[in-house]
Structure 1
Amino acid sequence: MTLTIEGLHAGYGGGTVLHGVDLTVPEGTALAVLGMNGAGKTTLVHTIAGLVKARSGSVQLGGTELARRPAHAIARAGVALVPQGRRVFASLTVAEHLTLSRRKGEWTRQRVLDLLPRLGERLTHKGNQLSGGEAQMLAIARALLTQPRLLLLDEPCEGLAVDLAARVRSVVAELTRTGLTVLLVEQQPEHARAVTGHLVHLENGTLGAVTEGDEGDTQGAAGISVLR
């Protein structure tokens, strides 16, 4: 489903981090949001997911308003977040993670394991026994089993060895070909371009320059990005 954000303001305490963000990601496409630490990238995906409350503006998925709804309601509406740092449960096995996350739908446990076969070899391993790359695969699997229509990924390659980061990018690129709408947060342009040609830059809570990649055309101006 299409993600449409208009005039989004959000922040923490008395401070504002996002200043009137406008963004559209059409159904079945992927958009990468680039920016340095402190640019507001994580705040953006957390606000979409309902972990940070929007102060003003609109966040719609397929025409359904999500802004200022609780996080559990946004998750039920089809939004799944793969958080920065993986955040898997140290004491739960891979199999237990998959069981707890599973909802009825197209993404079955077997389909997830077909996409991420390494997890099938680690079903009895606990979260604290996984490598960084395996934990990232588990975080992605956990999100897919909630049957998302929008997948949010917050720096999925952070802290991974080169070969593992390449594998994660390959998986994300494959997901975009399934028709899933994807919003990817990244610091490294080369990581983003391996997944999608649609790139925007976030700086000081405002969307700025838009980069046109090989995979599609993007147009935009300061604070606005529209994929066509």
Structure 2
Amino acid sequence: MTLTVERLQAGYGGGTVLHGVDLTVPAGTALAVLGRNGAGKTTLVHAVCGLLKPKGGSVRLDGEELAGRPAHRVARAGVALVPQGRRVFPSLTVAEHLRLSRRRGEWTVPRVLELLPRLGERRRNRGDQLSGGEAQMLAIARALLTQPRLLLLDEPCEGLAVGLAERVRAVVAELTRGGLTVLLVEQQPEHALAVADRVVLLAAGVVAGTHTADELRADPSLTDHVLRVATHA
């Protein structure tokens, strides 16, 4: 499913964080949004998934307008969020998380555990007994069980050790190869380039540039520029 965001404005209270953002994520591809803290990355995903009502603009999934709908209706349209910080329930077991998240569809608990086998080994463990990487896998599994057409990931590798971050990136890459549309926000270019087809630079609430991941991999000087914009703009 193709996500189209046009002239999106959003913020909190009387302030505006996003000042007319335009981006497109074609069906079955991954778009990474890079930017420093405060650039508007989380505001963007919250506006797309309905946690934040936009002040203006359009958010469409295969032509269906989502802007302004409450979060539960956006979720029913096929949008799932893996939030920053995992946000798993500390007192619930992995199995209970999966059971509560499950909806009818192609993503079943056995299929999720095949993709994320470590969760199968930890099914009886509570949320507060999981490592950071395991909690991130659980957050992804929980989102997949809602049968998304669009998966939003808010800094999925934040705070993870190198090996665990690589595993999360591998899972995201596998999902896009399977045809899922993915929008992820990141602060570290190496995480974005490992999974994304295209990269958007967000600075002070506006799009500061768009590149293909292949362009960035092929041109180290361009990657350095992206790094400077993403972390210092």
Normalised to the residue count of structure 2, the TM-score between the two structures is: 0.91
Counterpart of 1:173, as a letter, is: A
- Contact map agreement 2:29 2:197 (CA 8 A) in 1: no
- 1:133 corresponds to: 133
CA distance in 2, matches of 1:23, 1:148: 20
Matched, 1:175 2:170: no
- Contact map agreement 1:119 1:134 (CA 8 A) in 2: yes
- 2:62 corresponds to: 62
Counterpart of 2:117, as a letter, is: P
Structure 1 position 210, deviation (Å): 1.6
- 2:143 corresponds to: 143
Report which of the two has the higher share of helix: 2
- Contact map agreement 2:157 2:168 (CA 8 A) in 1: yes
Residue by residue over 1:111-139, the C-alpha shift from the partner in whole angstroms, topping out at 9 and shown as x without a partner, is 00000000000000000000000000000
Counterpart of 2:167, as a letter, is: R
CA distance in 2, matches of 1:152, 1:209: 20
CA distance in 2, matches of 1:187, 1:213: 15
- 1:200 corresponds to: 200
CA distance in 1, matches of 2:200, 2:178: 22
Structure 1 position 196, deviation (Å): 1.6
- Contact map agreement 1:40 1:205 (CA 8 A) in 2: yes
- 1:86 corresponds to: 86
CA distance in 2, matches of 1:205, 1:213: 22
CA distance in 2, matches of 1:197, 1:10: 26
Q: After the TM superposition, which residues 83-122 of structure 1 pair with which residues of structure 2 at under 5 Å, given as runs?
A: 83-122=83-122
Structure 1 position 148, deviation (Å): 0.1
Structure 1 position 212, deviation (Å): 2.6
- Tell me how large the CA RMSD over aligned residues is: 1.1
Normalised to the residue count of structure 1, the TM-score between the two structures is: 0.93
- Counting matched residue pairs gives 216
Identity of aligned residues (%): 77
CA distance in 2, matches of 1:85, 1:201: 22
CA distance in 2, matches of 1:214, 1:196: 9
- 2:214 corresponds to: 214
Indicate the SS of the match to 2:11.
Answer: strand
- Contact map agreement 1:198 1:215 (CA 8 A) in 2: no
CA distance in 2, matches of 1:215, 1:130: 38
- Structure 2 unaligned runs (5+)? 217-233
- 1:4 corresponds to: 4
- Contact map agreement 1:32 1:186 (CA 8 A) in 2: yes
CA distance in 2, matches of 1:124, 1:88: 14
CA distance in 2, matches of 1:151, 1:39: 21
- Structure 1 unaligned runs (5+)? 217-228
- Contact map agreement 1:59 1:65 (CA 8 A) in 2: yes
CA distance in 2, matches of 1:20, 1:161: 35
Structure 1 position 52, deviation (Å): 0.6
Residue by residue over 1:160-193, the C-alpha shift from the partner in whole angstroms, topping out at 9 and shown as x without a partner, is 0010000000000000001000001000100011
Counterpart of 2:75, as a letter, is: A
CA distance in 2, matches of 1:132, 1:116: 14
- Contact map agreement 2:113 2:120 (CA 8 A) in 1: yes
Cα distance change of structure 1 residues 116 and 215 upon mapping to structure 2, 3 Å threshold: farther
Counterpart of 1:197, as a letter, is: D
Q: After the TM superposition, which residues 156-175 of structure 1 pair with which residues of structure 2 at under 5 Å, given as runs?
A: 156-175=156-175
- 1:154 corresponds to: 154
- 1:223 corresponds to: none
Question: Runs ≥4 in structure 1, deviation > 3 angstroms?
Answer: none
